[in-house]
Amino acid sequence: MKEKILLYFLLISFSCFSQTGKLTGKLILKDPENYKKVLENTYIILKTSIKTDSIKVDSDLRFAFEDVKAEEKIKIFISPRTYPINICYTLALKENEIENIEIPYTSTCPYSKDRNNVCPICSKNDKVLPIVYGFTAGISYKDKDGNPTDKNGKIISKEENEKVKYISGGCIVSDCQPTWFCQRDKLNF
């Protein structure tokens, strides 16, 4: 019985003197026309090595986590995900620290799904290249004398052969990614 009482007091003393902090934050909405949808559906997820917690944002798109264990790596996620990529924030709190963060948030993909290759900045398409995703490999053709040719065997100039025909977007394909790149404005759209 003495052991149980001692164990009980030890557990209470550890919980009373544990080092914790507080994490507060706010979503900075980049697509305010979706405010109502974000308010109804968005949760902030806090993950540590020992627990996972979530909280719904309030009417000001704010959130707060109390009694977050100090000196431990904390990861913050947003559900539904943020676009164009799913962002994860990593931080650690000090004892009794109150950390306030602002998180830029877009609830919809900023890239249009239409196949229009006109740049939204310069309104031209002469310097617009397609972005190709997945494994890409360039194929070059040459005739028997070593001259560059197109795929039909027609000799082309060295400049035409070295001209960039597409931009590689990488191997990872997601549901939100740009399809065009404007060389003039250095813009993915």
Residue 19 tokens, joined:
């080092």
With cut-offs at 50, 70 and 90, classify the pLDDT of residue 7.
Answer: low
Helix (H) or strand (E) holding 11: helix 2-16
CB half-sphere exposure, 18, CA atoms < 13 A: 14
* pTM metric for this prediction: 0.62
Render pLDDT for 81-92 as a digit per residue (tens, 0 to 9): 888 778 889 998
| CATH classification code of 19-105 | 2.60.40.10
For residue range 146-188, list pLDDT tens digits in order. 888 888 888 888 777 767 688 888 887 777 889 999 999 999 8
Question: Can you tell me which residue has the tokens 């507080």?
Answer: 22
Q: Give the span between the Cα atoms of 154 and 147, in whole angstroms.
A: 10
Supply the pLDDT for residue 16: 47
Contact 122, 185 (CB under 8 A): yes
Residue 108: pLDDT above 60?
Answer: yes
- C-alpha 125/C-alpha 13 separation (Å) is 69
In the three-class reduction of DSSP (H, G, I as helix; E, B as strand; rest coil), residue 51 is classed as: coil
Domain with CATH 2.60.40.10 in the chain: 19-105
3 state DSSP class of 83:
coil
Whether the predicted pLDDT of 8 surpasses 70: no
End-to-end CA distance of the chain: 70
- Phi and psi (nearest 5°) for 81? -55, 160
Tokens standing for residue 175? 């549901």
